[in-house]
Chain A
Amino acid sequence: MELVNPILEFKKTCVSYSKQTMAVKYVSAAIERNTITAIMGPSGCGKSTLLRAANLMHALYPNIRVDGEILLNGQNILSMEPIEVRRKIGMVFQRPTPFPTMSIYDNVLAGYSLNGIRLSKSERNEIVEKCLRNVALWDEVKDVLNKKGTFLSGGQQQRLCIARALAMKPEVLLMDEPTSALDPIATKHIEDLILELQKDVTILIVTHNMGQAKRISSRSMFMYLGDLVEYDDTEKMFSNPTDERTRAYLTGKMG
Chain B
Amino acid sequence: MIMNDMKILQRLYTDKIFKIAVCLFAALTAIPLFAILGEVLIKGYSQLSWSFFTEPTPTAYKAMQAVAAGEPIPGGIANGIIGSVIMLGMATVVAVPIGILCGVYLAENSKKRFAIIVSYITDLLQGTPSVIIGIITYVWVVVPMKGYSAIAGSVALFIMMLPLIIRSTEETVKILPASLKEAGLALGGNNARVTLKVILPSAFGGIFTGILLAVSRVIGETAPLMFTALGCSFIRWDIDKPISAVPLLIWEFFNDPNLQELIWGASLFLLIFVLSLNLTAKYFAKKWNS
Spell out A's residues near B (CB within 8 Å). Answer: 55, 57, 60, 82-84, 86-87, 90-91, 93, 95, 97, 99-102, 110-111, 113-116, 161, 164-165, 168
Interface CB pairs A-B, < 8 A, 29: A57-B182, A57-B185, A57-B186, A60-B181, A60-B185, A83-B188, A86-B186, A86-B188, A91-B186, A93-B182, A93-B183, A95-B179, A99-B184, A99-B197, A99-B201, A100-B202, A101-B201, A101-B204, A102-B201, A110-B197, A110-B198, A114-B184, A114-B187, A114-B189, A114-B193, A114-B198, A161-B183, A165-B187, A168-B187
> From residue A111, how far is it (CB to closest CB) to chain B in Å?
4
Residue of B nearest to A99 (CB): B198
Docked-complex contact B190 and A90, CB < 8 angstroms: no
**In the complex, are the beta carbons of A114 and B182 less than 8 A apart?**
no
For A87, what are the chain B residues with a Cβ–Cβ distance below 8 Å? 187-188
CA distance in complex: A162, B197 (Å): 19
Closest partner residue, chain B, to A100 (CB atom): B202
CA distance A228 to B100 in the complex (A): 45
B179–A86 CB distance below 8 A: no
Q: Which residues in A have their C-beta under 8 angstroms from that of B190? A: 83, 114
Chain B: residues with Cβ within 8 Å of the partner, total of 19
User: How far does the alpha carbon of A116 sit from the alpha carbon of B197 in the complex, in Å?
Assistant: 11
Complex: chain A residue closest to B177, CB-CB: A97
CB-defined contacts of A93 to chain B, threshold 8 Å = 179, 182-183, 186
**Complex Cα spacing A83 to B190, Å:** 7
Closest B residue to A111 by CB, please name it: B187
Cβ–Cβ contact B197 & A113, under 8 A: yes
Q: Does the CB pair B188–A111 fall under 8 Å? A: yes
Residue B194, interface by CB 8 Å? yes
* Distance of A93 Cα from B179 Cα, bound (Å): 8
Q: What's the Cα separation between A57 and B178 when bound, in Å?
A: 11
Give A165 to B186 CA distance when docked, in angstroms.
Answer: 9
Please, which residues of chain B bring their CB within 8 A of the CB of A113?
193, 197
User: Is B98 in the interface zone, CB < 8 Å from A?
Assistant: no
- Report the Cα distance A26→B182, complex, angstroms: 25
Pick the residue among A86, A99, A116, A161 that contacts B185 (CB under 8 A). Answer: A86
Chain B, 198-251, CB within 8 A of any chain A CB: 198, 201-202, 204
Q: Which B residues are in CB contact (< 8 Å) with A114?
A: 184, 187-190, 193-194, 197-198
Give the dominant DSSP class at B's interface: helix
Separation of A165 and B197 alpha carbons in the complex (Å): 17
Distance in Å: Cβ of B195 to nearest Cβ of chain A: 10
Chain B residues near A55: list those with CB within 8 A.
186
Determine if B180 and A168 form an interchain contact, defined as CB atoms under 8 angstroms apart. no
CB–CB A99/B193 < 8 A = no
Q: Which 5 A-B pairs have CB atoms at the shortest separation, nearest pair first?
A: A114-B189, A101-B201, A87-B188, A97-B183, A111-B187
In the bound assembly, the distance between CA atoms of A114 and B197 in angstroms comes to: 7
Distance, CA A115 to CA B201, complexed state (A):
17
Chain B residues closer than 8 Å to A97, beta-carbon distance: 179-180, 182-183
Which chain A residue shows the least CB distance to B205? A101
Considering the chains assembled together, what is the distance between the CA atoms of A161 and B182 in angstroms?
13
B189, closest chain A residue (CB): A114
Chain A residues within 8 Å of B197, by CB? 99, 110, 113-114
Residues of chain A lying within 8 A (CB to CB) of residue B181: 60
B187 and A110 form a contact (CB under 8 A): yes
> How near does chain A come to B132, taking the closest CB pair, in angstroms?
38
* A185 CA / B9 CA spacing, docked (Å): 49
How distant is the Cα of A113 from the Cα of B194 in the complex, in angstroms? 9
| Chain A contacts for B186, CB-based, 8 A | 55, 57, 86, 90-91, 93, 165
Q: For residue A95, which residues in chain B have a CB less than 8 angstroms away from its CB?
A: 179
Q: A154 to chain B: closest CB distance in Å?
A: 14
**C-alpha gap A86/B190 in the complex (Å):** 10
| Cβ distance B199 to chain A, nearest Cβ, rounded Å | 10
| B-side contacts of A86, CB under 8 Å | 185-188
Report the separation of the CA atoms of residues A21 and B204 in the bound assembly, to the nearest whole angstrom: 39
Find the B residue at minimum CB distance from A106: B197
Cα–Cα distance between A88 and B197 once the two chains are bound (Å): 21
Report which residue of B179, B189, B194 has the largest number of chain A beta carbons within 10 angstroms of its beta carbon: B189
**Bound complex: CA A157 to CA B244 (Å):** 54
Inter-chain CA distance A53–B138, complex, in Å, is: 55
Cα distance, A97 to B182, chains bound together (Å): 9
A207 CB, min distance to chain B CBs, angstroms:
19
Chain A neighbourhood of B201, CB < 8 A? 99, 101-102
Q: Which of B183, B188, B197, B201 has the most CB of A within 10 A?
A: B188
Q: State in angstroms the CA–CA spacing of A95 and B183 once bound together.
A: 11
Closest CB in chain A relative to B114 CB, distance in Å:
14
A residues near B204, Cβ cutoff 8 Å? 101
Which A residues touch B185, using CB under 8 A? 57, 60, 82, 86
With contacts A99-B198, A101-B204, A113-B197 taken as known, whether A164 is within 8 angstroms of B179 at the C-beta atoms is no
Task: Name 9 extra pairs, CB < 8 A, besides A86-B188, A100-B202, A168-B187.
Answer: A82-B185, A93-B179, A95-B179, A99-B198, A101-B202, A111-B187, A114-B188, A114-B193, A164-B187
